[in-house]
Amino acid sequence: MITQILLQLTSAVASVGRVKTSSHIVSRRFNALALGAVAADFAIKYGHTGRADFLVGLIVFVVLTVRTLLILGFGKIEENTFRRRVTCVVAFLVCAVASTTGQFYLGDPIGPLTLLPLVGVGLGCLGESSNNMIVRRRCVLAMGCVMAAFGLATEPWGLVFKNLVSDVGATIYSMNKYGDPPLPAIAFGINRDNRRMSRAHTNTNAAPAIAGPRYNRPTCKRCRRNSG
């Protein structure tokens, strides 16, 4: 129990460090530490219960930890688009094959809960392989939501904290900072509605127009003579 709490705290602290640092390499290192702590937490859970969802979580986060360490050890992987995409495809295939094989070995059917981390890995790999930062941020946001749902179901709270802080929260901040659509459109719509309400409020408070025959008469003297 104490070991699991320490692992969850390690993952949470590493997630905060990943967001706080301005260095991309240091951020990767914190991410590797957080992923490794989550993998170790799943290993303890699986050792105690033998559940298929814990086995899938263990396999997925071991693969993600190894992939992050490879990127840190070989910088050319991230610098080259083709190598980065090959790494993403290999990581996803290893996760899918190993997870499916593990569930068949345990004799458990493949259910929605065990598919969640694979969907999350697929979204993360899709974003990582893209050179479009808008697409990448959207995929990371979706991955964070899916993985957080898996964490809530399996109760590794370090994973939940990691995804909500360093994936979902940080990505929403970046999307707002760089003006990713549809955030600018939403902001424009809110500002437009505010301007309309302001104009309507101004028109309501304005003095009413004075009506009556006296004020409808022409102001020009000649026009008034002609009008009788």
| Domain span at 102 | 2-183
Whether residue 78 lies inside any domain: the answer is yes
The pLDDT value recorded for residue 216 is 46
Q: 14-44: per-residue pLDDT in tens?
A: 999 999 998 989 999 999 999 999 999 999 9
- Residues ≥6 apart with Cβ < 8 Å to 145: 163, 168
Low-confidence ranges of the chain (pLDDT < 50): 185-190, 207-219, 224-228
DSSP state letter for 169: I
Domains in the chain: how many in total?
Answer: 1
pTM for the whole structure: 0.76
Question: Is position 74 within any domain?
Answer: yes
Specify the pLDDT at position 28: 92
| Number of other residues whose CB lies within 10 A of the CB of residue 203 | 8
> Quick check: is 224 in a domain?
no
The answer to whether residue 202 is domain-embedded is no
Judge whether 207 lies within some domain: no
Decide if 126 contacts 85 (C-beta within 8 A).
no
Question: Is residue 177, in this structure, part of any structural domain at all?
Answer: yes
**Centroid of chain to Cα 201:** 39
pLDDT score of 56: 93
Q: How far is CA 23 from CA 34, 134, 141, in A?
A: 16, 20, 21
Nearest to 151 by CA among 170, 137, 167, 135: 167
The answer to whether the Cα torsion of 20, 22, 24, 25 is positive or negative is negative
Structural domain includes residue 118 = yes
